[in-house]
DNA sequence: CACCCGATTATCT
DNA sequence: GATAATCGGGTGT
């Protein structure tokens, strides 16, 4: 499965889309170079959720979360790292997005090792800031429509059986820890 | 305009 | 397993 995803896919419950993004392939094209990996960890953030950037209203930084679904939202955190989100929400929700937390590298592994300055395959894209570094994603990759082929998009990838998906509290936040909105593929 | 803190990572032990 | 590093944005003065 290597074709892109319908925009309607992202116009559903943010939590549902976060779960269904597992197994999809994230593709980054830089000229003739193609880098990709299978999404194996996501987190959902939506408007009525204190942990969501958009919870306290629209600002220049988070406005993408209120914008069209199926587009990228990139933010800078801890003074060092970029994190990649995909805008997704049901029509009744004002904002929402899904943090892509980890990939299993597929194509362009040699290029990723150079970008990361590290050899260990396990460490290449196993964190939100790590995968953006490996795929060379920064603020200039914000606002891209990831439902059509371009410099950044998502393909169908592989099917993940429901029994292989684990739901847990989200990482690195202090509120709403009762919400099991982090999804990972069991190893 | 100053202060505070964060959806993290690398680099130790 | 623990901790320092690091700086842009949000919030309030």
For residue range A140-163, what is the model confidence (pLDDT) as tens digits? 999 999 999 999 999 999 999 999
Dihedral of alpha carbons A112, A118, A121, A126, sign:
negative
Phi, psi (deg, nearest 5) at residue A58? -80, 135
Cα A90-A94-A97 angle, rounded to 5 deg: 65
User: Which nucleotide has the shortest C1'-to-CA distance from A59?
Assistant: C10
Percent of chain A with pLDDT over 70: 100
Q: What's the pTM?
A: 0.95
According to the model, what pLDDT value does residue A174 have? 80
Q: With bands split at pLDDT 50, 70 and 90, how would you rate the model's confidence at A166? A: very high
- Enumerate the nucleotides of strand B whose atoms come under 7 Å of any protein CB: 6-10
- Protein-covered nucleotides on strand C (Cβ within 7 A): 5-11
Q: How far is the CA of A78 from the C1' of B5 (A)?
A: 9
Is the shortest CB-to-strand distance from A79 to strand B under 7 Å? yes
Task: Judge whether residue A187 has pLDDT over 80.
Answer: no
Interatomic CA–C1' length for residue A128 and nucleotide C1, angstroms: 21
Q: Could you give the percent of chain A with pLDDT greater than 90? A: 86
Q: Which of A52-56, A64-68, A172-176 has the lowest mean pLDDT?
A: A172-176
d(CA A8, CA A10): 5
Query: Is A182 within 8 Å of A42 (Cβ atoms)?
Result: yes
> What pLDDT is recorded for position A59?
87
Q: How far is the CA of A46 from the C1' of B3 (A)?
A: 28
pLDDT exceeds 90 at position A137: yes
The average confidence (pLDDT) of chain A is 94
């Amino acid at each position: 499965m290597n074709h892109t995803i319908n925009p309607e896919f992202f116009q559903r419950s943010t939590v549902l889309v976060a779960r269904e993004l597992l197994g999809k392939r994230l593709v980054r094209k830089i000229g003739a170079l193609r880098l990709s990996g299978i999404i194996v960890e996501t987190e959902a953030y939506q408007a009525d959720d204190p942990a969501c950037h958009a919870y306290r209203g629209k600002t220049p930084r988070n406005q993408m979360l209120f914008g069209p679904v199926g587009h990228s939202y990139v933010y800078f955190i801890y003074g060092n790292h970029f994190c990649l989100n995909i805008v997704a929400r049901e029509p009744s929700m004002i904002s929402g997005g899904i943090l892509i937390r980890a990939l299993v590298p597929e194509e362009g592994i040699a290029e990723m090792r150079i970008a990361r300055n590290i050899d260990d395959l396990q460490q290449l894209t196993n964190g939100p800031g790590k995968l953006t570094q490996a795929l060379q994603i920064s603020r200039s990759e914000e606002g891209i429509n990831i439902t059509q082929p371009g410099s950044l998009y998502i393909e169908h990838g592989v099917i993940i059986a429901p029994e292989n998906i684990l739901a847990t509290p989200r990482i690195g936040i202090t509120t709403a820890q009762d919400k099991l909105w982090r999804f990972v593929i069991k190893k």
